[in-house]
Amino acid sequence: MRRNYKNSKGERLPGVTTVISSLGWNTEPLLIWANKMGQEGKHHRDVSDAAADVGTIAHAMVEGELKGIDWKELVDMRGITQEQVGLAENAYLSWLEWSRTVNFELKASEQELVCEDLQVGGTIDIAAVKNETSIVDLKTSGPYPEQLIQLAAYGLIYASNYPNNPIKSYYILKLGKEDGSFSYNYWPAGSPLIEAGGQVFKHLREIHKLKNKIKV
């Protein structure tokens, strides 16, 4: 879903994922994966679209459970197969297991925020995990470096809006599509990796500004 972020002047702003993805960060794993698909006689675009659909469905199942609504209201069901739904259900079941393990409590779902300092927007899920204010990002693949950068960027945006309620911990939760397993990466606030991710994002934001000026 494309978000429409605007600053205090009403000017349109890019989102975190746009700033990161438009620069082609960490393409090597994607090239290796695409080559593997080609060796198996599969078109990488068809496979990636199906994988994206599974991830979207899994996210919708989690969001529906948290909001108390039918997840099918949150996605376009056209073209979705029962196999994809089954894989998404595996991921959803792993989410339920993890949320019970860490005493997960949603505080804000899909919260759209803008950072005036960085002139960027982001949509963030805020939760209490083990009684700490946390940012949790759900993935069905990875973790990859750009996911950590995205997480750190969300922390910067949140801090600019809520300086008196800082983020205490950061999580990337990987949900298993195939077997219902889960694994997660955890970083406390002030972690060198989170700090580095935030610095990388700030530089990427500046490059994104300059990129729009380079037109030949």
What digits encode the pLDDT tens for the residues 80-115?
A: 888 889 998 998 898 898 988 889 998 888 889 999
- Distance between CA atoms of 126 and 137, rounded to whole angstroms? 9
Tell me if 84 sits within 8 A of 178, measured CB to CB.
Answer: no
Which domain CATH number covers 89? 3.40.1350.10
What digits encode the pLDDT tens for the residues 161-197?
A: 999 988 999 999 888 887 778 888 999 999 999 999 9
Judge whether 1 lies within some domain.
no
Judge whether 58 lies within some domain.
yes
Judge whether 216 lies within some domain.
no
Domain region containing 18: 14-211
pTM, entire model:
0.79
Judge whether 150 lies within some domain.
yes
Tell me if 184 sits within 8 A of 171, measured CB to CB.
Answer: yes
Residue 77 backbone dihedrals phi, psi, to 5 degrees: -80, -5
- pLDDT band of residue 49 (cuts 50, 70, 90) is very low
Check pLDDT > 90 for residue 143.
no
Judge whether 203 lies within some domain.
yes
Judge whether 162 lies within some domain.
yes
Judge whether 4 lies within some domain.
no
Check pLDDT > 80 for residue 59.
yes
Two structure tokens written together for 207:
């490059």
DSSP code string of 91-119: HHHHHHHHHHHTT-EEEEEEEEEEETTTT
- What is the chain's mean pLDDT, rounded? 84
In this prediction, residues 53-65 reach a mean pLDDT of 85
Judge whether 2 lies within some domain.
no
- Quote the pLDDT of residue 42: 55
What digits encode the pLDDT tens for the residues 200-209?
A: 999 999 999 8
* Count of domains observed in the chain: 1
